[in-house]
Amino acid sequence: MSGALKEVRIRIKSVQSTQQITKAMKMVSAAKLRRAQDAITQMRPYAQKLQEMLSNIVSSSEGELGMSLATERAVEKVMVIVVTSDRGLCGGYNSNLIKLAKSLLINKYAAQHSKGNVTFLPIGKKGYEHFSKNGFKVIDKYWDIFTGLSFEKVQAAAKYSMNAFANGEVDKVELIFSEFKNAASQEYIAEQFLPVQKATVTASNKKSDFIFEPSKEILVAELMPKILNTQLYKAVLDGNASEHGARMTAMDKASDNANELLKSLKISYNRARQAAITTELSEIVSGAAALNG
């Protein structure tokens, strides 16, 4: 029985050590989440207004010069930008993003994929490792963006995709990322990055009529890449906040599970200890009775 007691004691210590780690990781993620949440909250209104302006310009500039990044053409080759995290232990965050990317491949680009015409541009180590190991065509230049995250690093990835589209190397660029809602909630999104989409005109969102100074061509040539850089940066900031929120939630649940397991183990330990004491008392009583007899 002492062997069983020792085994339960070891398991209790092991669970307690794991719980200390999960609690520490939750606290670290909570601190990082606050900074990441502030960054995306400040960035989102600016990025959304720029995107609205860009879509309106594209809608009112059909067939004009300088609109190469908005040119629709037959889709033969596709690039998919997938924003994942560098580290795991964040619940289903990375697996959900990878699942969405594969679903996009099956449901929208099966013909292109069968011809080997789909290329992944992963941002984040987890996505890079998955697509590399599973035989997908991967661009391996920008997966480490989260190591010292900056606008300049994201801009380099955006420029690469824009150049590939403008040069006809790809006909469409899709962007997959997680939009941050709150610490416990993220929305996994697949949206078209290139060509730039036209604005959807509704009663509440009428197409704007802009006055351009200098000429529209000069402004579009300057503005369009900058706005697209901002859009990708927003997606990366969204992903960064989503990752920390998902990890904080996952570590909180892991700590709760450790508590439940500890309760169960302590009950098992007490039962085993009581059984051992009862056995020892029985042996003592039996020995005393034998001596008296």
Contacts of 101 (CB under 8 A, 6+ apart): 80, 82, 120, 127, 176, 190
* Residue in the structure block whose two tokens are 């008296």: 292
Amino acid at 133: K
- For residues 196 and 54, is the Cβ–Cβ distance under 8 A? yes
Decide if 217 is catalytic: no
Cα distance between the two ends of the chain? 29
Q: Which residues pair with 174 in a beta bridge?
A: 80, 192
For residue 125, the SS3 value is helix
Which residue among the candidates 57, 90, 118, 170 is catalytic per the annotation? Answer: 90
| Residue 270, CB-side half-sphere exposure with 13 Å CA sphere | 6
Active site residues: 90
